[in-house]
Structure 1
Amino acid sequence: MVRLVSKDLNVLYDKQSIIHNINIEIPDKKITTIIGPNGCGKSTLLKSLTRIINHESGVVLLDGESIHKQNTKALAKKMAILPQTADHSGGLTVQELVSYGRFPYQKGFGRLNKRDHEVINWALKATKTEAFKYRPVDALSGGQRQRVWIAMALAQETDIIFLDEPTTYLDMAHQLEILELLQELNQSEERTIVMVLHDLNQAARFADHIIALKDGEIIKSGDSHSVINSEVIKKVFNIDAQIITEPISNKPICLTYNLIKGEN
């Protein structure tokens, strides 16, 4: 099943074409990862799929309707986005920050009702951040803060969650912690996860569907074996990679690689 698609999507940034005629289908209730070199348009694509930025032409459809024609609060009940620079909490406590996820459901003066508190507490429990409930977000470690931001996205009660490089600046243990949390949410809550990742092995391990971008165009999309192979990696990153199959997960991993010099 597919709920979110783009058709002939073109996006400009500072009058420069960034995304070129992209047609994608995001598998429902799966984890989709977008990979590609710096500046290839990964974050731009993510933002255009969530209506953060406008596109020049083409269309993004959610449930058969253009996202630009949907009511803002109604759309916010369907999709949540965690941007790459989600680190400005303004002195808020964990509970206060997570409560912002209830904005699409607020009426009048925006007072939290019983249902709101139930969802907030559930989101804290699901992300294992309930122990930090009354602590300032700024006082938490990087991994803890990232889990709190994910809790805020969960509090929106959306079927689709977008994350732009959720593991950036985290050490290896915290990266795995975040990715395993997202995998658990996908499997237990059937949330559709769409995220940008830099690490190819993490993408191969955790994604059901991978989209490889270069210069604003899709080079290849499909499952990990279709995308994480030496031919595609050469086209996308200009590197000669040795890919093997990891015996436990049966997923491809990049064992080693070298830059291909003298080629673009």
Structure 2
Amino acid sequence: MARLYTSNVSIGYGERLIVKDLSVEIPDKKITTIIGPNGCGKSTLLKATTRIIPHQSGSVILDGENISKENTKKLAKKMAILPQTPEGAGGLTVGELVSYGRFPYQKGFGRLTKQDIEVIDWALEVTGIKDFKFRPVDALSGGQRQRVWIAMALAQETEIIFLDEPTTYLDMAHQLEVLELLQKLNAEQGRTIVMVLHDLNQAARFADYIIALKDGEIVKAGSCEEVMTPSVLRKVFQIDAEIGRDPRTNKPMCITYNLIKGEERNEEASIPAPIAAYANS
């Protein structure tokens, strides 16, 4: 049994369910990516799994305990999350924002210890923003700000890190830097990484395990080879994909694709999601 898993979780806003009776295990000390079309429940699943939002039914279990009953500081020492659109950095310097990652370890008046400062400096170093430590976050570019938020998540020193589209606002080089950093943290420190990615080839290149969602339900979960197939991508994204091999990693990659049009697309769209998933499984 995995350390972290959901059991028949349903999540929604008001009366509208986004994720329905979803059960999934997150592999320990691996990189998991979640893919799927906009609005399918990727971010909602991340938020509920990290207790940012509540779930209507079911349970999220970490180390045998239901996270809804877990002490907040204790939980924050086990998992960190970088939201899709982090907010609340107005007036703070880079170093001050990253220091917030040390909150679960602070006692008394919340003063930073020598160990806290060392961890903060390490997080700034590995994310390439050490020179910005005393600069206001508001003065940075979008890509630089994204790296500050990632540094804050790293400073939390958790065994599990969730990231919702961590490459947003970054150019291609910085996207690769961030993903390679997460891969290094996984390989060298055994961190469990769970992230939402829109780029299918990045998801396949860096993931050990992929969860493909559509309409709040899992279409397929498994290895890159099991998920990055024309049939799965057809069900999830309604595209006709050509799958090949990355010449550098030998991982599957989407070489090109066409949008499915006409009667075939309309027929699939007219079938209720649970029936369509069952019929095409």
Q: TM-score range by the shorter chain?
A: over 0.9
Measure the CA separation in 1 of the matches of 2:174 and 2:143.
5
Residues 3, 63 of structure 2: 8 Å contact kept: yes
Measure the CA separation in 1 of the matches of 2:259 and 2:84.
27
Measure the CA separation in 2 of the matches of 1:86 and 1:167.
13
Indicate the residue corresponding to 1:114 in structure 2.
114
1:69 equivalent in alignment to 2:33? no
Residues 83-135 of structure 1 deviation map (CA, whole Å, 9 limit, x = unaligned): 00125411211110110001111112211112211211121222222221111
Indicate the residue corresponding to 2:34 in structure 1.
34
Q: Which moved more, 1:28-37 or 1:147-156?
A: 147-156
* Amino acid of the structure 2 residue aligned with 1:206: F
1:220 equivalent in alignment to 2:228? no
Measure the CA separation in 1 of the matches of 2:172 and 2:248.
19
* Amino acid of the structure 1 residue aligned with 2:51: R
CA RMSD of aligned residues (A): 1.2
Q: Which moved more, 1:135-144 or 1:161-170?
A: 135-144
Measure the CA separation in 1 of the matches of 2:74 and 2:259.
46
Indicate the residue corresponding to 2:239 in structure 1.
239
Indicate the residue corresponding to 1:181 in structure 2.
181
Measure the CA separation in 1 of the matches of 2:185 and 2:141.
22
1:145 equivalent in alignment to 2:145? yes
Q: Which moved more, 1:227-236 or 1:244-253?
A: 244-253
Residues 127, 178 of structure 2: 8 Å contact kept: no
Residues 80, 161 of structure 1: 8 Å contact kept: yes
**Distance apart, 1:177 and its partner CA:** 1.7
Measure the CA separation in 2 of the matches of 1:140 and 1:87.
14
* Amino acid of the structure 2 residue aligned with 1:95: G
Residues 34, 42 of structure 2: 8 Å contact kept: yes
Helix, strand or coil at the partner of 2:7:
strand
Helix, strand or coil at the partner of 2:90:
coil
1:93 equivalent in alignment to 2:96? no
Measure the CA separation in 1 of the matches of 2:143 and 2:29.
25
Residues 10, 22 of structure 1: 8 Å contact kept: yes
Measure the CA separation in 2 of the matches of 1:125 and 1:2.
32
Indicate the residue corresponding to 2:9 in structure 1.
9
**Distance apart, 1:11 and its partner CA:** 0.9
* Amino acid of the structure 2 residue aligned with 1:208: D
TM-score for the superposition, normalised by structure 2: 0.91
* Identity across the alignment (%): 71
Spell out structure 1 runs of 4+ moving beyond 4 A.
none
Q: How does 1:185-200 map to 2 (within 5 A)?
A: 185-200=185-200
Residues 143, 178 of structure 1: 8 Å contact kept: no
* Amino acid of the structure 1 residue aligned with 2:96: E
Helix, strand or coil at the partner of 1:2:
coil
Measure the CA separation in 2 of the matches of 1:142 and 1:36.
24
Measure the CA separation in 2 of the matches of 1:69 and 1:232.
36
Q: What is the total number of aligned residue pairs between the two structures?
A: 264
Unaligned runs of 5+ in 1: none
**Distance apart, 1:140 and its partner CA:** 2.3
TM-score for the superposition, normalised by structure 1: 0.96
**Distance apart, 1:210 and its partner CA:** 0.4
Q: Which moved more, 1:116-125 or 1:49-58?
A: 116-125
* Amino acid of the structure 2 residue aligned with 1:105: Y
Measure the CA separation in 1 of the matches of 2:14 and 2:43.
15
**Distance apart, 1:143 and its partner CA:** 2.6
Residues 11, 18 of structure 1: 8 Å contact kept: yes
Helix, strand or coil at the partner of 2:29:
coil
Q: Which moved more, 1:112-121 or 1:250-259?
A: 112-121
Measure the CA separation in 1 of the matches of 2:184 and 2:158.
16
Helix, strand or coil at the partner of 1:198:
coil
Residues 210, 223 of structure 2: 8 Å contact kept: yes
Measure the CA separation in 2 of the matches of 1:160 and 1:95.
22
Q: How does 1:18-33 map to 2 (within 5 A)?
A: 18-33=18-33
